[in-house]
Structures are given as C-alpha cells and as structure tokens.
Structure 1
Amino acid sequence: MAMAEDAASVLEQFVQDVANLPAEIAHLLEEIHAKDQVVQECRNTIATRDNSIQKFVKLNGAGLPNPKEEGYCKLVKDNFERAKALQEEKCTLAEKQALLLDRQIKRLDFKIRDLQNDGAIAPDPQLPSL
C-alpha cells in the first residue's frame, strides 16, 4: 500500500515539477514568434507582388498581358501556402503550451483531492477544481 502524502510534500513536489515550466513556455513562445516573423515576410512578399501586378494593370490596362504575372501569381500562391502551414504550426505550439499547463494543474488538483479524501486537509468548497 502506498504511503499517504502530506500537504507539504505535495506542494514541494508540485514546485519541483513546475520549476522548468516557465522555460518550456518561453521556448515555445520564442518558436511561435520566429514563425510569426516568417509569416510576416510571406505577407510582405504577397503584398509586394500583388502591388506590382496592380500597378501594371493601372499603367497598361487590363487588356495587355503582364509578362511577369504568371511568376508573381505562383510566388503569391506559394507564400500563402507557406504562411498557412506556419500558422498551423503556431497553433500546434500554442496547444502544446496549454497541454503543459493543464497537465500540471490537473496533477495538483488530483493530489489535493487525494489529500482531502485522506483527511489531511479540510475540504474547501471554494477551492477551484478541474
């Protein structure tokens, strides 16, 4: 049979478990920021090429074919696809952050519930629970 834990040991274990959490979250945020910068570069490329196409049309009319339009359209499409993939990666990283936090909170919540069930601490109706 497992030895019952006291509140101090539960708290100490929780503090040890979450000690590295700020660094992990910071690292994930740095990755998100780096991906966001690349997305911004994609958006700038898209805007530049679109402006070039629009400028050609304004100067020469819609009837005259733009010799660079096909290449620009491919570049714009490629940048949209790259930006979309990066946005999905950013969402995955954000979900990973939420899971890291949620896991630690749930673990503490279960330990507190165990302490309450063992009578080590009094049940508190105002204590938040997941």
Structure 2
Amino acid sequence: MDPSLVLEQTIQDVSNLQAEFRFIYEEISSADSKALEEKKKYMQKDSQIHKFIKQHGSTTVQPDEDKLYKEINEGMKACEELQNEKSIFANTALFLVARHLSKLEKNIALLEEDGVLAPLENEIESGVELSRESSVVSTTPGERKRRGTSSSETGPSLKKKKQSRTASVQRGQKETELIKASETPKTMISTNVEIPKYNDDLFANSNDNEDEDKTLYCFCQNVSYGEMVACDGPNCKYEWFHYGCVNLKEPPKGTWYCPDCRQEMAKNKLKKKKV
C-alpha cells in the first residue's frame, strides 16, 4: 500500500466534514432554542395554576384547569421530541468522526504491516496510559448495580501494533452484555448525509473484528463511558446515566430515580390526589 494514496484518500474523506459539522451544530442550536421557548410557555401555564391555588385554595376548581394541563403536557412532549432530535444530530457527528478515525487507524496498521511506515515512538507505553485512563467498570447494566471507580478488564492488548494504535477508538465502549437501546427514526440532513438508526449496524463496516458495546444510554444518548448510575424506576427508558448528565459526583445512597421518573411519579401522585 502506498502511503501517499492513503494520505490523499484520507484528505478527500474528511474534506466535507467541516461543512457537515457546521450544519449539525446549527440544527442542534436551533432545536435547543425551540425547546427553551416551549419550556418557557408551559412553565408560564404552570405558574397560572399555582397562582390560582394560592389565591383561591386547593379545593376551588380553576375554570380552565383541564385546558392548561393539556397545554402543559403538549409543551413537555414537544420539548422531549426536540431533545430527541438534538440527540440524533449529536450521534451523527459522533458516527462521522468514529468512522473516519477507524478507517485511518486500519490504513496505518496495514502500512506498518507492510513495513512502509515506522511505528510511533513509545507506542506501547502510550497505549498502556490510554488503557488506564479509559478503563470501564466490569459490572454489567443487567446486574442493576451502581457504577463506581473504574477498573479495566477489557483494555486492548498491546502485543500487536494495530491494537495499541486503536486503543483510543476502543476506550470505554466494551462491557460484558448489552442493554436494548431505544430506536430512533431515520432523519435526513441537507448535506445529503443520512442519519441512521444508532444501533449495531452503524460501525459494521469499520469495526468488523471488534466486539464493542455501541448501545446508547442516558439523556445524552451516548455510549457507555466513565462512571454511570442506574435508575431504580421500573419503567425507566434510559436505565443508566452518566454522572455528569444528572449532576452526580459520587454514587447516590439508597434508591435513586432519574429526573424523568421523578417527574412521572409526581404527576401520578397529583392525579391520585385529584381522585
């Protein structure tokens, strides 16, 4: 394999990424603005309900209470759809980067095997550090245990140059079992890049020989990495959450519910009180 051809092909592959990323980030920003506007509207309606209760008491029925509750639910549903849209675009950016990076890593490994490209200095030492920094918890989501300090069991082997070079691609994406991910419909963006359903088929072409967990977790709909916590809600659609996404710095004590489940529980409690 000719190194100059690999370089030329790589430059050609990534030349359109800047425009694609610009469009993706603009769409994310637009969806975020719309979500904030929807939230502002349904919070105003919620304030109307609370204001009426303060003035007339909880036993007095507000004339347009049902209408306000319906509009609040519609606004919350619109916000959820916009958040899902943002996740789709973010996952598309992640997929584009991972796809091009994986292809480049494979080409570099082939050049090393052919002897036309010298390996990087201190490659093994660098691979070891990456493995330590990106180690993940061996506990599987199916065991429903809290994730704490990370420990590595699935780090890449350093016996081959190819595996040590791809340590950065493999960081934090391996676990011993998979959780079923929520399906996301296909979407098209104006730069002719199709946003596929984020499942095991996404990296089929670029990671044929790697057994990676590409399941999406948490509100951010990202792959497993770092410290995560499981929601105790029986019907939680995300189940596992990254600490940073739920403002946690250490494992919670006792039963823990995600914001969505807490909100749902509060709504059910309110309905029971009305009955």
The answer to whether TM tops 0.5 is yes
Greater fraction of residues in helix: 1
2:205 is matched with which residue?
none
RMSD: 1.3
User: Which residue of the other structure, out of 63, 66, 80, is the alignment partner of 2:59?
Assistant: 63
Render the CA deviation track for 1:68-90: whole Å, top value 9, x for unaligned: 11111000001111111111121
Normalising by structure 1, report the TM-score. Answer: 0.90
Q: Tell me by how many angstroms 1:113 deviates.
A: 0.6
Equivalent residue pairs, number: 126
Identical aligned residues as a percent:
31
What are the within-5 Å matches in structure 2 for residues 1-130 of structure 1? 4-5=1-2, 7-124=3-120, 125=123, 126=126, 128-129=165-166, 130=169
Q: Kindly provide the amino acid, as one letter, of the partner of residue 89 in structure 1.
A: E
Gapped regions of structure 1 (runs ≥ 5): none
Distance 1:63 1:13 in 2: 71
Letter in 2 for 1:104: H
**Deviations 1:38-97 (Å, cap 9, x if unpaired)?**
111111011100011111111111121101111110000011111111111211111111
In 2, Cα distance between equivalents of 1:30 and 1:71: 34
- Give the distance between the partners of 1:20 and 1:13, measured in 2 at CA: 12
* Distance in structure 1 (CA, Å) of the matches to 2:97 and 2:165: 15
d(CA) in 1 for partners of 2:29, 2:85: 11
Higher relative contact order (CA 8 A, sep 6+): 1
Matched AA of 1:51: S
In the aligned structure 1, how far is the partner of 2:17 from the partner of 2:79? 29
After TM superposition, give the deviation of residue 123 of structure 1 in Å: 2.2
Give the letter aligned to residue 26 of structure 1.
R
Taking the aligned partners of 1:120 and 1:26, their CA distance within structure 2 comes to 36
SS of match in other structure, 2:59: coil
Structure number with greater Rg is 1
- Code of the residue aligned with 1:98 in structure 2: it is L
Deviation at 1:9, TM superposition (A): 2.2
